[in-house]
Amino acid sequence: MRTDAPYKNLDELRLTNDPPRCSATGVGSSGYDIPRLLEEALGFKFRVVSGYPGGAEQDLAMERGEVQCRATTIDGFFGREPIRTWQKTGFIRVLLQTERQRHPKLPDVPTIFELMDQYKVPEPKRRLVTAYLGMWGFGSRPVVTTPGVPADRVKILREAYTRMFKDPDFIEDLKKKGWEASPVDGEELQTLAKEVVDQPPDVAAALKRLISK
């Protein structure tokens, strides 16, 4: 959010009668869905302004004051302009993050899961957050194989994948390219998949409503 927006803390976002304008491309995008998820789960108020063709147009909208906030990925936030300059100049501040753990570069910014504890969010809405954000928990490049692969082979593949991220040459190559990797092991993703899918009908209906309008 722009630092000159009149909302100085999260409680003010719950009480305001003049919600901040957040940009989005359209229905189904994270920029559209995340503000609505925050409204549903935490009572924060936003006005989503959709129809922007892409990220560059949303950047301009922020700079022009057409909108005051937007949702973006961690990769996009730390990895490109003008957001890096916005951080350096204090043009923006981060309200919250949607991962389960705080990012090392955002140690003072609460997660949505911490805020659900703080605001004592009931279980059905917690499940809604888990179901929606769980889809993003698979990361930007999940690696999968076909059904029916013998368990011993899956174990070999998972162990090899884990070892790759400990290989000094591989790590050095990542550094040269300026890439950041946060690998998640297969067992954790398998657990996440079951957690996301195993939802009662009312949560499934709420999720469908959230992402379809």
Question: Would 150 be classed as within a structural domain?
Answer: no
Mean pLDDT of 208-213: 79
Question: 194-212 b/e with 16+ CB inside 10 Å = b?
Answer: eebeebeeebeebbeebbe
Q: What are the tokens at 54?
A: 């892409």
pLDDT digits (tens, 9 = 90+) for 12-23: 999 999 999 999
Quick one: pLDDT at residue 144?
A: 87
Q: What is the per-residue pLDDT for 192?
A: 79
> Nearest to residue 206, comparing CAs of 135, 131, 116, 154?
131
Domain assignment present for residue 157? The answer is no
Backbone angles phi, psi at 104, to 5 degrees: -55, -30
> From CA 99, how far away is CA 115, in angstroms rounded?
12
What is the model's pLDDT at position 198? 81
Query: What's the CATH code of the domain at 59?
Result: 3.40.190.10
Q: What is the pLDDT of residue 122?
A: 95
Q: How many domains does the chain have?
A: 1
Residue 44, in any domain of the structure: yes
At residue 139, the pLDDT reads 64
Q: Whole domain around residue 104: which residue ranges?
A: 10-137+201-211
Beta bridge partners of 23: 49, 70
Q: Give the 3-state secondary structure percentages of the chain, helix then strand then coil, rounded to 5.
A: 50, 5, 45
Q: What is the pLDDT of residues 70-124, one digit of tens each?
A: 998 887 888 889 999 999 999 999 999 998 889 989 999 999 999 999 999 999 9
Statement: residue 181 has pLDDT above 90: no
Answer whether residue 43 is part of any domain.
yes
Residue 45 lies in a domain: yes
- Say what the pLDDT of residue 140 is: 64
Least confident range from 28-37, 124-133, 135-144: namely 135-144
Is residue 25, in this structure, part of any structural domain at all? yes
Segment 28-82, tens digit of pLDDT:
888 999 999 999 999 999 999 999 999 999 999 999 999 999 998 887 888 889 9
Is there a domain that residue 175 lies in? no
Please say if the pLDDT value at position 199 is more than 90: no
User: Is the per-residue pLDDT at 160 higher than 90?
Assistant: yes
126 within a domain of the structure (yes/no): yes
Q: What is the pLDDT of residue 135?
A: 67
Q: Give the pLDDT score at 16.
A: 95
